[in-house]
Structure 1
């Protein structure tokens, strides 16, 4: 599989405000709200549900944009294509371009940004890592709590896979979309990885 390059992080040229578009993607885990502009992806909002739909990702082969801008900007189309592959054809995700990111948190030089980039670059599909291990990878072995804060502030979940960060005990831990969603994503990746194993 092709190696995945980190997406561009677009800078604010001349300090002008961007024109944000929003769209909703129907997925196996519910409605994912994505927002962005011509410059890049701003955010993915996860559904918070107490019950996840039954059935595997295979039954959601369409996984299409259903609401939002008539002609979404390229970063939103790239995001939708990547998420569709993630749920339905995960073996394709390494070869797909990641949308450029255009969220202030990802443009500032900070430990949070470093942690998120490290997670995106180093923790692959079907893998899990503890908060402490991720702190080590990001260069500060004593910063497990700061890693937890970085996961809570991740504006682009699933693509930046904060669901893959678990407690040292092996328990899944907290997640912005709730415990059930985190468990579903981890299970989805494990099953898909097993299917793809030679």
Structure 2
């Protein structure tokens, strides 16, 4: 694999760590750090600069889709699940069962949940849009508070409102 680079984005709900190569984004996580540590420098690949810009536009309510290339590594089933997530419209949610159906195995609800939890590229691959079949928010590695914020943010932007941060 190519050399890894990291940059931080100071989002309204915490520092986002973006890791990637010249070819694409490898991970995007919420950090538990209070302040960004990694800034753009002369060696930062363009793909990371693009990811920063697209994240900034997302949080400002100016972007609903990401175009930055992602390099996800996982099993074939995980890849199928992750590929299905961007099909969930911005500001909407789907259940684990909906994704299980989308990947062709309605009985794989738990496996979908497991694959969703292994997604290393949050927000861009929108695992935050997956909820329980009862309509309740369920696990999110970045915290349920952040998941709720992301969903409310997207719904507000979709409805032409602003979300106070």
Q: Give the TM-score normalised by structure 1.
A: 0.74
Deviation (angstroms), 1:195: 1.0
Question: Are 2:135 and 1:151 equivalent residues in the alignment?
Answer: no
Deviations 1:151-183 (A, max 9, x none): 110010001000000001110101011111111
Superposed, 1:16-55 pairs within 5 Å as: 17-48=1-32
Between the aligned partners of 1:164 and 1:48, the Cα distance in structure 2 is 22
1:96-135 → structure 2 map (5 Å cutoff): 98-105=67-74, 110-120=76-86, 122-135=87-100
Gaps of 5+ in 1: 1-16, 50-64
Q: Distance in 2 between matches of 1:47 and 1:188?
A: 19
**Rounded Cα–Cα distance in structure 1 between residues aligned with 2:32 and 2:144:** 9
CA-based RMSD of the aligned residues comes to 1.9
Task: Give 1:152-191 correspondences, 5 Å limit.
Answer: 152-191=117-156
Higher helix share: 1
Q: How many residues align?
A: 158
Return the offset for 1:194: 1.1
1:83 aligns with 2:55: yes
What secondary structure does 1:85 align onto?
helix
SS of structure 1 residue aligned to 2:38: strand
Match of 1:142 in 2: 107
CA distance in 1 between partners of 2:72 and 2:98 (Å): 26
Deviation at 1:67? Answer: 2.5
Give the drift of 1:66.
6.6
CA offset at residue 103 of structure 1? 3.4
- Measured in 1, the distance between the counterparts of 2:5 and 2:141 equals 22
SS at 2:18's partner residue?
strand
Gaps of 5+ in 2: none
Report the Cα offset of residue 82 of structure 1.
Answer: 1.4
1:48 to partner: Cα distance: 4.8
CA distance in 2, matches of 1:20, 1:101: 13
Judged with a 3 Å threshold, the aligned counterparts in structure 2 of structure 1 residues 129 and 48 are, in CA distance, closer, same or farther, namely farther
- Once residues 176 and 48 of structure 1 are traced to their aligned partners in structure 2, the CA distance between those partners, rounded to angstroms, is 11
Secondary structure of the corresponding residue to residue 157 of structure 1: coil
